[in-house]
Amino acid sequence: MGAVSTTFVAGTLLIRKGLAPPTGSLAEMGTVRLGKRNEGRTPLIKDFVPLASLDDLVFGAWDIFEDNGYEAARTAGVIEPSMLEQVRPELEAIKPWPAVFDQRYVKRLMGTNVKTGANKLEIAGQVRADIRAFKEANGLDRLVMIWCGSTEIFMTPTAVHDSIEAFEQALESNADDIPSSMVYAYAALVEGIPYANAAPNLSADIPALDRLAIDNGSPVAGKDLKTGQTLIKTIVAPGLKARLIGVAGWFSTNILGNRDGEVLDDPESFKTKEESKKSVLDYILQPDLYPTLYRNLCHVVRINYYPPRGDNKEGWDNIDLVGWLGYPMQLKVNFLCRDSILAAPIVLDLVLFLDLAKRAGMSGIQEWLSFYFKSPVHAPGLYPEHDLFIQLMKLKNTLRFMRGEELITHLGLEYYD
Ligand SMILES: NC(=O)c1ccc[n+]([C@@H]2O[C@H](COP(=O)([O-])OP(=O)(O)OC[C@H]3O[C@@H](n4cnc5c(N)ncnc54)[C@H](O)[C@@H]3O)[C@@H](O)[C@H]2O)c1
């Protein structure tokens, strides 16, 4: 029930009352071209594939704070109080269930609304019970779980994460290798529910949970929503590379004053975020294929916690470019964005598309949803695709594929026969 999730929930409630447009949501506003360019068939995505209607969504959440949805949205301070008033009763009705939480994984937070139990397996059982009770109480057919919790400390996979058996044993023996987000992910996947991770922590991105997702028919997506500075980076970098303009350095710095910024002020949580933010340029620019242009690129990313700005992040990028004959140039980007305003439509799209994927019989990693993430999960042995435009093509082609429509290659020779 933090900034991202309350902005998503309150926003969706406002949109379905007709009080605001779903700006930024591809699922609600995007179109998909079908067939040849001269056929004039470009339906809305939501008319092309059978997405759940916003009217049918019901929201539930866990948090370490007891604040209801309205109080949490006021604390987040993203949506104006006058707008929140218009959906206040619906938000007040969302009372977070006690969280799976251990401060060792998120050092800057402490709360009282926390589950207790003999071990992590039993606590996962409590999460599953919450899920079932929610489904029952609201008469729901299907569910989707999205981790919009804080960024946990940096962790890498260990032997415990290799197989479902080892993972379940580790849950029972309370192994340190299993942070809270993994307990939620496990609970969702055991229940056959789609799971997405909006944060950069490991969570479901381990072989054991990948296997569980496939076995139980749960689609999975992650990690770390691509908003703000990284979104702009994955828009600008493919353009520079397309024209073979060299990049000697890319310095990115931000000021951010929300609770996410406070959590990321802890070096161990920042490390998780830093890894996620830094990987994009390596994959987009491919220094191994273009060593003259990108091999020595100096990429620095900073996040500075600065409370006066709240959720209104300001990012600065200085990009040192190299052109024809080695002449240097510079590009400066100053992005005054609103973090959760950029994130909320992504959460909505993930809910709708993951639910669609589940109904289409898709399970495990959903690479076509890479479009939404800074560190897209991918099959072992494959490199992740970070270029926003390739990601969009992959997403739309997947929708065409689902509906048996011709895939679009953009070859276009047939128009000149
Ligand atoms: N806003 C963006 O643009 C953006 C982009 C990419 C990723 N993210 C990530 O999304 C996550 C949420 O961001 P936010 O701005 O909403 O942060 P936030 O601090 O406002 O919200 C996080 C919420 O998670 C709760 N929480 C922490 N651990 C929990 C647990 N174990 N169980 C239940 N609740 C728990 C916190 O109490 C808090 O209410 C962060 O990890 C952030 O890094 C945000």
CATH classification at residue 12: 3.40.50.720
Total number of domains constituting the chain:
2
Residues 255 and 305 in one domain: yes
Residue 286, classed as helix, strand or coil, is coil
Residue 157 belongs to some domain of the structure = yes
Would you say 75 and 257 are in contact if contact means Cβ atoms under 8 Å apart? no
Residue 411 belongs to some domain of the structure = no
CA of 91 to the centre of ligand 1 (A): 18
Residue 410 belongs to some domain of the structure = no
Our answer on whether the CB atom of 153 is closer than 6 Å to any ligand 1 atom is no
Q: Which atom of ligand 1 is nearest to the CA of 5?
A: 16
CA of 4 to the centre of ligand 1 (A): 7
Residue 265, classed as helix, strand or coil, is coil
Q: What six digits make up the tokens of 136?
A: 């029952």
Q: Which pTM does this prediction carry?
A: 0.96
Residues 104 and 177 in one domain: yes
Rounded distance between C-alpha atoms, residue 198 and residue 101, angstroms = 17
Residue 413 belongs to some domain of the structure = no
Where a domain ends, among 336, 358, 392?
336
Rounded distance between C-alpha atoms, residue 358 and residue 311, angstroms = 33
Residues 218 and 235 in one domain: no
Q: Which residues pair with 219 in a beta bridge?
A: 364
Rounded distance between C-alpha atoms, residue 138 and residue 150, angstroms = 27
Longest dimension (CA), the chain: 71
Residues 65 and 81 in one domain: yes
Full domain range(s) for residue 285: 229-336
Walk along the chain (417 residues) and give the pLDDT tens digit of each residue. 999 999 999 999 999 999 999 999 999 999 999 999 999 999 999 999 999 999 999 999 999 999 999 999 999 999 999 999 999 999 999 999 999 999 999 988 889 999 999 999 999 999 999 999 999 999 999 999 999 999 999 999 999 999 999 999 999 999 999 999 999 999 999 999 999 999 999 999 999 999 999 999 999 999 999 998 999 999 999 999 999 999 999 999 999 888 888 888 888 888 887 887 778 898 999 999 999 999 999 999 998 999 998 888 899 999 999 999 999 999 999 999 999 999 999 999 999 999 999 999 999 999 999 999 999 999 989 999 998 999 999 999 999 999 999 999 888 888 898
Residues 78 and 170 in one domain: yes
CATH classification at residue 281: 3.30.360.10
Our answer on whether the CB atom of 9 is closer than 6 Å to any ligand 1 atom is no
Phi, psi (degrees; rounded to nearest 5) at 67 = -50, 135
Our answer on whether the CB atom of 78 is closer than 6 Å to any ligand 1 atom is no
Residue 137 belongs to some domain of the structure = yes
Q: Which atom of ligand 1 is nearest to the CA of 101?
A: 31
Q: What six digits make up the tokens of 336?
A: 């005054």
Residues 47 and 159 in one domain: yes
**Cβ contacts of residue 404 below 8 Å, gap of 6+?**
none
Residues 86 and 187 in one domain: yes
The pick from 1, 4, 273, 374 for probing ligand 1's pocket by mutation, whose C-beta has the most ligand atoms within 8 angstroms, reads: 4
Residue of the CA atom closest to atom 17 of ligand 1: 260
CA of 35 to the centre of ligand 1 (A): 41
Residues 125 and 75 in one domain: yes
Pairing label, strands 328-336, 145-147: unpaired
Residues 379 and 300 in one domain: no
Where a domain ends, among 305, 336, 367?
336
CA of 71 to the centre of ligand 1 (A): 16
Residue 139, classed as helix, strand or coil, is coil
* Interhelix angle 180-190/207-215, nearest 10 degrees: 20
CA of 121 to the centre of ligand 1 (A): 23
Task: Specify the DSSP class assigned to residue 119.
Answer: S
Q: Which residues pair with 352 in a beta bridge?
A: none
Our answer on whether the CB atom of 340 is closer than 6 Å to any ligand 1 atom is yes
Q: What is the DSSP string of 39-101?
A: S-B--BHHHHTTPPPGGG-----EESS---HHHHHHHHT-S-HHHHHTTHHHHHT--PEEB--
Residue 416 belongs to some domain of the structure = no
Residue 264 belongs to some domain of the structure = yes
Residues 53 and 38 in one domain: yes
Residues 345 and 326 in one domain: no
Helix or strand holding residue 145 (H, E): strand 145-147
Q: Which atom of ligand 1 is nearest to the CA of 150?
A: 41
Residues 307 and 365 in one domain: no
Residue 407 belongs to some domain of the structure = no
Where a domain ends, among 284, 303, 336?
336
Rounded distance between C-alpha atoms, residue 343 and residue 353, angstroms = 15
